[in-house]
Chain A
Amino acid sequence: DAGITQSPRYKITETGRQVTLMCHQTWSHSYMFWYRQDLGHGLRLIYYSAAADITDKGEVPDGYVVSRSKTENFPLTLESATRSQTSVYFCASRQGRGEKLFFGSGTQLSVL
């Protein structure tokens, strides 16, 4: 039961570089989500996907790009990283509406 895995666990990059965070789930859940967690802000939704090839913006989508060509993968790309994107990023999935979210262990990203 692998569940939901994120990679890398830690990433340091420089301003202006492109960075891709990976998320893979083994349950075939329909819905997948990307959140960022910052002190004082809790978890904020970046993008979500209801199924393969269906994605939609969340609360803080600017500067991020997502794709979902396969149900099990939901990568998040920072096209040109900025210091304000230093954060802990969590991927999550769920099967149906209103059901609980299953979270990965997170990616700690530092943009220098």
Chain B
Amino acid sequence: TQLLEQSPQFLSIQEGENLTVYCNSSSVFSSLQWYRQEPGEGPVLLVTVVTGGEVKKLKRLTFQFGDARKDSSLHITAAQPGDTGLYLCAGVEVNQFYFGTGTSLTVIP
């Protein structure tokens, strides 16, 4: 079993603050994906990172893939209440997606 650990597990911040969540693994993946899940719904893909050291931006969200392709981070600038949700990373290898345990983010207005 390939294990991905995410930290922190829970995060509650005020609107306008910045935050970073981490996804760490002992395994190397061909790519890594980040999903956001809202209550009562399934996860929805935010981004895929493929190359070690790659940085991708999606509006206020910045995603980085570690040089060794074992870890990743998600940075949110000026968080808004609409960012509230469960953030999941997933390591992708051939046919398998290995999901992290998730970071539950609450942004307080």
Interface residues of A (CB under 8 A from B): 31, 33, 35, 40-45, 48, 50, 59, 90, 92, 97-98, 100-101, 103-106
1/0 per residue, CB under 8 A from A, across B94-109: the answer is 1111011110000000
Minimum CB–CB distance for A3 against chain B, Å: 10
Q: Distance (Å) between the CB of A21 and the closest chain B CB?
A: 14
Closest to B104 in A: A39
Q: Dominant SS at the A interface?
A: strand
| Chain B contact residues, majority secondary structure | strand
- Distance from B40 Cβ to chain A, minimum over Cβ atoms (Å): 7
B80 interfacial by beta-carbon distance below 8 Å: no
> B31 at interface (Cβ–Cβ under 8 A)?
yes
A-B contact pairs, 17 of them (CB 8 A): A31-B95, A35-B99, A42-B6, A42-B100, A43-B43, A45-B97, A59-B1, A90-B42, A92-B42, A100-B45, A100-B48, A101-B43, A103-B43, A104-B42, A105-B40, A105-B42, A106-B40
